[in-house]
A = this chain, B = another copy of it.
Amino acid sequence: MTRMHKENNLSKNQQIIFDLIDRSSEPLKAYTILYNVQKKGINAPPQVYRALDKLVEIGKIHKIESKNAFVACKNSDCEISKATAFSICESCEVVDEISDVKLSKYLSSFNHKKGMKFKRFNLEFFGLCKKCK
Residues of A within 8 A of B (CB): 65-66, 87, 89-90, 96, 98, 100, 103, 106-107, 110, 112-130, 133
Contact = CB atoms under 8 A, between A and B. Distances in A.
For this chain, the copies found in one complex come to 2
Given A121-B123, A122-B123, A123-B121, A116 B103 contact: no
A115 B128 CA distance: 9
Contacts of A130: 114-116
A106 B128 CA distance: 19
Lowest 7 A-B CB distances belong to which pairs? A65-B65, A118-B127, A120-B126, A118-B125, A115-B130, A121-B125, A123-B123
Given A65-B66, A110-B103, A117 B127 contact: yes
